[in-house]
Amino acid sequence: MLAMDASGKTTGVGDATVQTRAVLESIRAVVETAGGSMADVTYNAIFLKDLGDYAAMNAVYKEYFPSAFPARYCIRADLVRPEFLVEISSIAHLPRPL
């Protein structure tokens, strides 16, 4: 997920905190639509344009995963658009309906 609104425009340009929140809200929306919650997220791959944004990203991340972090890694990477600061790829484990 990237920090984009419904029309594909980047949100939070220049602000890793805003972009992290937008990305995690998008992840939450997908997981909840599938019938789960953020507690079902088991793994996150986090990509930061600048590792100097790690503390800002991590502060927001703790809001969405307050009790126990899912497994994760974080690397510095060039992202698809220069204005993107944060990208997160998540895996959630949801029980199959009976």
Starting at the earlier edge strand, list the strands of the sheet with 86-92.
Answer: 71-76, 41-48, 86-92
* DSSP assigned state of 8: S
Alpha helical stretches, state H, the chain: 16-33, 54-64
- CA-to-CA distance for 9 and 27, rounded, in angstroms? 17
49 catalytically annotated: no
Amino acid at 26: S
Q: Which of 1, 18, 45, 74 is catalytic?
A: 74
Catalytic positions are: 74
